[in-house]
């Protein structure tokens, strides 16, 4: 008889000191990053009172991610990934320090924030794809899903604690302190990576070039399951993004208080974190593709509800449900990418995963910002959720092989590709 363990598998933290250090360092830095995200959002809204201005911040972050994410993945397949991550993280630390400096000086120029967001995104496009290749190198294959869940759990914790604490600190001392905390947090990320062994690509480095990027793209296109997972995520992140609409929604319904905005921005993380605490059953999920599609549908319907309800508590509850659905989607997609990709392609495929998971939401924020400039906040949120739901249904009907995906399929794809 199958015994179900309802709680998250924490064995990678006990079994792998390298994973434990990397997990802790990355998580602390991610916490600081969410504080900066809150601070940028609040600073821009204070300067402009415009959802479009916040959406344009997503454009400044999204374009470099989309343009250079694939290049970053290709570079990761051409050299020692540990050294690459250390260099890129150092660059991000410098940019974070500049965010703090402009805030403490009292600069009130919108374009400076946009330039810093572009620089931050450029370093992230190099850093993240290489960093994502570490998991299969420091954990055995049967622990990869647990490792992905733990990584996502810390991200969700940061998503909860970062904006919530940032909202309180901004109310007490101003958003400047949020930037300062982010700068300090990068020390933990640097330490976690510095203690890792060298991480050259297995089988030898592949020179970074447009040809190598094209080979990575062809690999993904020939794997319907990988392609389907990326498309499912795009439905949510591009069509269903609503973060730029939250300040206007907060102003229209909840008196525009900074602490309330912090709770709204943290609610998805709360739902995600709670879903991960009881994520044990994910180990027994037999139809991962179908699970991803259901997660997309739950996200979309929850967002539609946020656009309709007027109660703060109902809004927070629906955002939490959306966060739980998104977290399940992230864990299943991350595991799929890591398990089904040979190491020689892992940097480039991780680059595509980064573009989809990080760049696409920023473009989604631009879309949300434009809609928010035309329609009332509640209507804008509802339209976002409805668009995402329609796209998810279309994907489920047009790619039936993705609905039938199982973990066994991933192992078969890997053996056929090697």
* Summary mean pLDDT of the chain: 82
**pLDDT tens digit string along 203-241?**
655 666 667 777 777 887 777 778 888 888 888 888 988
pLDDT confidence band for 281 (50 / 70 / 90): low
- Torsional class of 255: left (φ above 0), alpha (ψ -120 to 50), beta (otherwise): left
**How would you class 170 by CB atoms within 10 Å of its CB: exposed for 0-12, middle for 13-18, buried for 19 or more?**
buried
Rg (CA), the chain: 20
Write out 152-178 in H/E/C secondary structure. HHHHHHHHHHHHHHHHHHHHHHCCHHH
Output the CA torsion 135→140→144→148 (10° steps): -40
**Which residues 6+ apart lie within 8 Å of 85 measured at CB?**
127, 130, 131, 193
pLDDT score of 11: 85
Domain ranges for the chain, please list them: 11-417
* Superfamily holding 11-417: MFS general substrate transporter like domains (1.20.1250.20)
DSSP letter (8 states) at residue 3: P
pLDDT confidence band for 417 (50 / 70 / 90): very low
pLDDT score of 410: 47
pLDDT confidence band for 357 (50 / 70 / 90): confident
Between residues 410 and 12, which one has the greater pLDDT?
Answer: 12
pLDDT score of 145: 76
pLDDT score of 80: 82
Q: Answer whether 137's CB lies under 8 Å from 80's CB.
A: no
pLDDT confidence band for 336 (50 / 70 / 90): confident
Q: What is the per-residue burial (b if ≥16 Cβ within 10 Å, else e) of 71-103? A: bbbbbbbbbbbbebbbebbebbbebbebbbebb
pLDDT score of 416: 45
Which residue, chain included where needed, has tokens 């990068």? Answer: 186
Structure tokens at 314: 């109902």
CA distances from 404 to 224, 228, 398, 410 (A): 11, 11, 12, 11
Q: Answer whether 33's CB lies under 8 Å from 154's CB.
A: no
- What gap in Å lies between CA 133 and CA 129, rounded to an integer? 7
């Amino acid at each position: 008889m199958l015994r179900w363990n309802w709680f998250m598998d924490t064995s990678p933290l006990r079994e792998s000191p390298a994973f434990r250090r990397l997990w802790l360092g990355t998580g602390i830095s991610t916490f600081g990053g969410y504080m900066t995200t809150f601070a940028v959002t609040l600073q821009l809204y204070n300067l402009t009172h415009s959802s479009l201005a916040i959406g344009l911040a997503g454009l400044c972050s999204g374009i470099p991610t989309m343009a250079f994410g694939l290049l970053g993945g290709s570079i990761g397949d051409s050299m020692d990934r540990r050294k690459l991550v250390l260099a890129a993280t150092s660059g991000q630390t410098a940019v974070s320090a500049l965010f703090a400096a402009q805030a403490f000086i009292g600069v009130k120029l919108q374009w400076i924030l946009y330039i810093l967001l572009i620089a931050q995104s450029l370093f992230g496009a190099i850093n993240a794809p290489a960093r994502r290749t570490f998991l299969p190198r420091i954990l055995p294959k049967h622990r990869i899903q647990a490792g992905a869940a733990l990584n996502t759990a810390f991200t969700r914790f940061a998503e909860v604690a970062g904006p919530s604490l940032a909202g309180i600190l901004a109310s007490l001392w101003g958003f400047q302190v949020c930037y300062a905390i982010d700068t300090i947090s990068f020390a933990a990320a640097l330490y976690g990576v510095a203690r890792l062994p060298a991480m050259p690509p297995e089988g030898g480095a592949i020179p970074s070039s447009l040809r190598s990027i094209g080979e990575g793209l062809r690999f993904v296109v020939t794997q319907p399951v990988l392609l389907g997972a990326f498309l499912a995520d795009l439905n949510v992140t591009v069509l269903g993004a609503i973060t730029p609409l939250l300040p206007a929604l907060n102003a229209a319904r909840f008196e525009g208080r900074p602490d309330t905005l912090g709770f709204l921005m943290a609610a998805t993380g709360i739902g995600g974190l709670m879903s991960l605490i009881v994520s044990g059953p994910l180990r027994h999920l037999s139809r991962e593709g179908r699970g991803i599609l259901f997660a997309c549908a739950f996200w979309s319907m929850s967002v539609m509800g946020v656009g309709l309800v007027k109660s703060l508590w109902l809004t927070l509850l629906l955002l939490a449900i959306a966060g739980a659905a998104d977290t399940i989607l992230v864990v299943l997609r991350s595991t799929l990418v890591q398990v089904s990709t040979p190491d020689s392609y892992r940097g480039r495929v991780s680059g595509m995963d980064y573009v989809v998971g990080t760049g696409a939401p920023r473009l989604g924020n631009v879309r949300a910002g434009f809609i928010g400039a035309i329609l009332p906040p509640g209507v804008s949120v509802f339209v976002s959720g409805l668009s995402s739901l329609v796209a998810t249904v279309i994907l489920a009907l047009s790619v039936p092989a993705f609905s039938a995906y199982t973990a066994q399929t991933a192992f078969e794809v890997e053996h056929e590709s090697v």
